[in-house]
Structure 1
């Protein structure tokens, strides 16, 4: 009878199977590729798969290996499904009512005893714009704390700082990707697009087919170098020095667009005086790039009729990150290659919503619309939108890593983390883990029990991208709507609803009374109105009808702004700012005790701290642990074996890694990916030295000692 029943049920499942196909966006990198989610539903089970959507105007139906497996983590049985509170040292399931009551008691007690700023908020660069906006409002209105920042501080903050200083505004790309094939010379500096944003490589290949010359600047020969006409294998931390050499050639050989300089920039004379002191032989000694290659690269870019420069974390994750990017922007301005087709600059965003994440209030010094929290006019406007008194809004706080230091000093007693894993993503992570253990109350909202969640006093089950609804701003500055497609598992709740419930138990519910994500977006539109990142003219309907719109978009009916700076820049006088950039040595250099330079980065199969991709077997099986990538000559000196293990040590700690020989890296440099935690966490070694302007840590240069394990 049992066998008959099983056979009957199997037959029923087959005959009642139906497929439902819906469209969504990949949750991973900043391209936000559109994809089709296929669900085969039967009586017994539902099966999911993903395919590319050929109607995507950006990627034209391309998906990378992460996108093809993007559904896996969202439907994983290991997802958090219940609120948990730590009881007698162990996280135990509780009701939402009990969790919120514990939250209220703890937060109110700490703020009563230690003040409003005893509580901090730590967000993420993969949250929707609505959640970023809401989290900033929650910190400033519900908690009234100055302490809020997010992991995007470790992504594009240096590029943002440089763009604000140079152009007066920061948007990831000044031109849409569709203009890349019109460039006759492209510089890719510290960006490995082939592995980090592979679905847009087609634009660069098309440019090359059109006769474009491509220069790659990177200490490693990455997959992106396959399209390069010239690869400058720069020593990590010496990008600004390299560009000073290129600028010297551009000025002395007459590649300056004098008309553009006179009409649209300030600071040219000071820059000319500065580069007179630059010696190409000294630049070559610093960077490891021969003088003839520096000249070749400068001529290649200077002679080109059109050109674009793209930077990413290789240039930006330094204690001199803002200065590094500013020097590349100097080169863009000197040649007049901006504000027209095939001419511009782009910071290749790493995180899914790294652009929107910093525009709408997660960053310590910012309010929605890229307003500044210390600007009295901006504060007054936001107070009016939120219905609070301006004097009740807190002032600016401190950066993400500085918050960890404040926690270590016990100045912050409680931290609320949404969609981030600071134990893995911060530099000097041994200290960060030690600091978080000092908190009196740590609340983590996430999909899985991350390394940070394991330390928490309360863990709340949040929403994955298939359940979430809201907008994302991808690397071009294009805002997209992502609809919810799937029910939440167990007792998990939408992230934005959790934030609203936390506000409600703190007696601030009247300020957080939303029925859906679109209502939050409509308030965000008003909050951003008149700001640099103006979304006011966008609606869910217009975003869906046009498959995204570019900000600024100041009024309904406005087409958006795909290309920036056609007529003027965003400073009050409409002119861009050139600036002399002095080369700064990295905060750590190789020495007898630590003779090698460690640099970190991504691999194709993983994303950020790996919470989602390490829980996707199809991805994790392809790259299950971090590898120490080292030149065979260096490995021979040390006595390492390919496939063996090595101990890697900095001033801050030691980890043990599997060795991978590579001819494609400088002999003085080693590379390790940063997607793992615990004993594989490379950020236990990295340097927390901060950029003075944007407070970006120096992830990309760290002096290390290497020994056979």
Structure 2
């Protein structure tokens, strides 16, 4: 990439702001983005783009970019140091902490977050080097309840559901607003197509009349926190009227009798009254989903960040399973993935490790951030003493910012690897500057489609900024400094360089396997060994992509027919290598698998290949609903973390990227504003009883009475300036969470409001 400052060229990449990772066609010079538009050649997004992606220059070039390793001094200021000094000092301190206090003293935060996925494949090696099993990331405060349910239903927490919204006749959007949050293919185009088709029905279940709800045929504008009541009522109507998919349940499921007993006991009218929605609409939704030729449910943080989050997820899944809307076109389905971002863990195994203080089990290898501060501050001699943070900003984005700050300040060693000097980085002992996502090889980790699924390995667009390094290089150097891997592998490197193309890397893979078998201590560090050996032979300094060779081969081994249908011919091994070469070559991404809808049953991990509907913990919690007293109205209920046109994940630090809503104003119903004597532009004190923040208000009749909403992604101290916008996580005590999954209840936070 030797282009002058003034020379421009066209290239392709992908957006990094949400799980869709839409393909982008860009015009760049050596300084940054000049034009950004959708990439028509991208096989999944096919030219789609939203307004957020068009503003990625604010990420690539901003005043908070890091360009040199930093070390904290006694006076809490930073000094610039060399990479060698940083790596060596960190390696010595990590080793000392491990040898003195054991693996419980170390944890990682982040890794593969905020679109920064490829480095996550290397970060886990540091836990292996430290003999630690403690991994915290943002999925642990969003999705682990969902992953746990998938494990119980389908046999593995790596099983994950997707929604064939594009082909569905009856779509339920549950606690989500795809118009702003996306999460479905080409969201705004897809929503428009559904809303204009009289033969298709769109249902939205949400306390606010969102942009998606305005397009819907039915909007159930329920009270916040009543999702479990409403979903129980819908399911009970289906069972009471005999609309359950009897043949599907008999052929593909076990345990329905236990579920049916609960649903037969549900007082439908009472539960609908608690949700405060129109009964006729509830019956229409129940009958419509059950009788549709194809129906699906798309759920997101609206139910996963509310109270009873795991129970909500259970009922959500029962909606499409009890009605047989699974394993077919236009329904919910399982899917493959080429990059394993989840593992399978089972807390019922008595040998499975738990956290020290809370005795909390990890789901899919992930612990919930809501326990982290206690594991640092309250676990005594076995407390966490050292944390490595990768592409993550816990101080700002995880609950109870003040408590998290106290915990992080108490650490003996805090290392942050990031592109920018974040709020968390400012507390670190060492800050390691990473190349931006457009200055290194990266991939799209959220390939979640079925039956056709894609993958996009992104090539670097720009030279690395300053003295930054990609994460695979950083973590490999640390492992070398810790003595975990040699600094050179001359034999394997020579084989990789000299091996003829026609051998499909067979000689190299044999030498790698032999090395790992003879020296088993190297096995946890295979990613960095691939990086140093095969990686050195890949074009355009593509060493980080070396891990895609074994992942491609494993994908072909598991799903050979689907990989062959996608065009990668050969046996299970050679088709995998051909897939790897295509991944390196195709700059707009590719389709890596084409399956048939009936293939979904091969993805069910239970030995009997059936779905196990009976989950005792969830049925016990469901039965408790029958005895729960009516939840009286709070002064106000805050829906925290709303997605809007100009908020995203926190990689956008420069507030100037926002065209509108620059302060992240609170939405409030006009009648509530009038009662409080408020007009647009006023400020209020929002008090959760734990902490309070001052926010601007926006009068908005899409809100329910006594319900207010604030967006996430604000309160960044950009360029050492003042915070702009709501610091949501200051309001959230760590105890305000689901008792089972420890997922924070952001969407159901009782607050009081007073004019500032």
Compared CA separation, residues 427 and 568, structure 1 to 2 (3 A): closer
Classify 1:487/1:371 alpha carbon distance in 2 versus 1 (closer, same or farther; 3 Å).
farther
Structure 1 Cα separation of the partners of residues 594 and 167 of structure 2: 22
Secondary structure in structure 2 of the residue aligned to 1:417: strand
Contact 2:16–2:115, Cα closer than 8 Å, also in 1: no
Change (3 A) 1:151 1:604: same
Change (3 A) 1:35 1:562: farther
2:189 aligned to which of 202, 206, 227: 202
| 2:671 equivalent to 1:644 | no
Task: Give me the whole-angstrom Cα distance separating, in 1, the residues matched to 2:649 and 2:99.
Answer: 35
Name the counterpart of 2:484.
Answer: 508
Instruction: State how far apart, in whole Å, the 2-side matches of 1:525 and 1:371 are.
Output: 24
Q: How high is the TM-score relative to the length of structure 2? A: 0.79
Q: 1:409 aligns with which of 378, 385, 388?
A: 378
Residue equivalent to 2:167: 182
Cα pair 1:169 1:532 within 8 Å, conserved: no
| TM-superposed deviation, 1:110 | 2.4
CA distance in 1, matches of 2:598, 2:455: 14
Cα distance between partner residues in 1 of 2:7 and 2:635: 61
Query: For 1:686, which of 732, 741, 749 is the aligned residue?
Result: 732
Structure 1 stretches of 4+ moved >4 Å: 169-176, 370-379, 523-538, 558-564, 583-592, 605-609
Q: Measure how far apart 1:561 and its partner are.
A: 7.2
Q: Secondary structure at the match of 1:22?
A: strand
Which sits farther off after the overlay, 234-243 or 620-629?
620-629
Question: Given that residues 268 and 578 in structure 1 are in contact (C-alpha distance below 8 angstroms), is that contact kept between their aligned partners in structure 2?
Answer: yes
1:89 aligns with 2:76: yes
Alignment of 1:27-66 (within 5 A): 27-40=16-29, 48-66=34-52
Q: What does 1:252-331 correspond to in 2, within 5 Å? A: 252-331=240-319
Equivalent-residue separation in structure 1 for 2:48 and 2:302 (angstroms): 25
Contact 1:122 1:148 in 2 (8 A): yes
How many residues of Structure 1 are paired with residues of Structure 2 in the alignment? 650
Question: What is the distance in 1 between the residues matched to 2:32 and 2:423?
Answer: 30
Residues of 1 paired with 2:701 and 2:334: CA distance?
30
How far is 1:303 from its partner?
2.1
Q: Deviations over 1:499-548 (max 9, x none)?
A: 11122221113433323112223355578898999999474334465934
Output one character per residue of 1:192-242: Cα deviation in whole Å (capped at 9) or x when no partner: 110111842322322333421000001111111132001111122221211
| Gap change, CA 1:608 and 1:462, over 3 Å in 2 | same
Residue pair 1:246, 1:297 contacting (<8 A) in 2 also: yes
TM score, norm. by length of structure 1:
0.84
Aligned-pair distance for 1:276? 1.7
Distance 1:603 1:268, change over 3 A: closer
Change over 3 Å in CA distance of 1:170–1:145 after alignment to 2: closer
Cα RMSD (Å)? 3.5
Q: Which residue of 2 aligns with 1:214?
A: 202
Deviation of 1:304 (Å): 1.2
Q: Residues 90 and 378 from structure 1, CA distance in 2 versus in 1: closer, same or farther, beyond 3 angstroms?
A: closer
Q: What is the CA-CA distance between 1:565 and the residue it aligns to? A: 2.3
State how 1:245-256 maps to structure 2 within 5 Å.
245-256=233-244
Q: Flag the 1:430–1:590 CA change in 2: closer, same or farther, 3 A.
A: farther
Shift in Å, 1:412: 1.1
1:95 Cα deviation (Å)? 1.0
Gaps in structure 1 of 5+ consecutive residues = 1-12, 348-354, 380-394, 551-557
**1:614 alignment counterpart:** 653
The 1:130–1:122 alpha-carbon spacing in structure 2 relative to 1, beyond 3 Å, is same
The whole-number CA distance in structure 2 between the counterparts of 1:415 and 1:527 is 32
